[in-house]
Amino acid sequence: MTADEKPTVSFGFRTVAEDEKSRLVGEVFTSVARRYDVMNDLMSMGVHRLWKDALIDWLAPSPSTQLLDVAGGTGDIAFRFLERLSGKPGNAVVCDINPEMLAVGRERARERNLSERVTFSCGDAEKLPMPDASFDAYTIAFGIRNVTHIDKALAEAHRVLKPGGHFLCLEFSKVNDALLSNLYDFWSFNAIPLIGQAVTNDRASYQYLVESIRRFPPQQDFADMVTAAGFKQVKWRDMTGGIVAMHSGWKR
């Protein structure tokens, strides 16, 4: 790279300047924020709800758990966390870089009478606006593949967790079975952009989201990145044949 050349990163199947990705991802989520949750149901045929429930199962929260959910603007994980407490005291912080996604989350919190128990904070996963060692658990669901530098986001996750804190990441991953992989590719590249066009009038954003899944590291590679960030006892669980994987690590 010459002095005049800018570092580049992937934006789906495109290569863009490193300092452009955050803006481009922001445009995607600004465009789809109001229909984001509806699209999740349509794209996954509702299975994303089971995946997120499984995340909360592994987290096994208690009323004393201080949760930070990153890139969770519409509140799905935070609401599940609080509902799992079955009326017991508990609070969660949702941090997302996109104001429109956070606005949807605040509306949904009001509808559920959870506004007093969920704090919505606008911030970058790579530069979290939270102090060191301030949370017992850090979750990120379908968000880490959209950051510009995954290693920086993981380092921030490690920084804000208390010793003994639990990191959990839910993300699309590498399908294990060849037949399922072919079916999944057909659905992803043909159906999802069309559904995005019909529901949000934005085919391009969902084309990017499909492509970004294929750019994300497979299970072992991502586990190695989590370990490199300082986490211990790193492991993962495949769900739906590896369409999704849930990675876990602990701060010691």
Which pLDDT belongs to residue 38?
85
Alpha-carbon 101 to chain mean position: 13
Does residue 128 contact residue 156 with C-beta atoms inside 8 Å?
A: yes
Please give the Cα distance from 221 to 58 (Å, whole number): 21
- The pLDDT assigned to 245 comes to 97
Q: What angle do CA 137, 138, 139 make, to 5 degrees?
A: 120
**pTM of model > 0.95:** no
Contact between 92 and 120 (Cβ < 8 Å) = no
User: What residue type is 167 in one-letter code?
Assistant: F
The strand ranges marked E within 142-242 are 161-172, 232-239
pLDDT digits (tens, 9 = 90+) for 225-241: 999 999 999 999 999 99
Which ranges of 85-172 does DSSP label H, i.e. alpha helix?
A: 99-111, 150-160
CATH 3.40.50.150 for the 24-250 domain, yes or no: yes
User: What is the per-residue pLDDT for 233?
Assistant: 98
| Domain ranges across the chain | 24-250
How many Cβ atoms are within 10 Å of 131's Cβ, its own excluded? 9
Q: Is the pLDDT of residue 1 over 70?
A: no
Closest Cα to residue 153, out of 187, 124, 175?
Answer: 124
Per-residue pLDDT reduced to its tens digit, 57-95: 999 999 999 999 999 999 999 999 999 998 788 999 999
Q: Within a 10 A sphere around the Cβ of 223, how many other Cβ atoms?
A: 19
Specify the higher pLDDT residue, 2 or 150. 150
Mind listing the pLDDT tens digit for each residue in 113-172? 999 999 999 999 999 999 999 999 999 999 999 999 999 999 999 999 999 999 999 999
Look-up of token digits 């290693």: 151
pLDDT of residue 182: 95
pLDDT given at position 170: 97
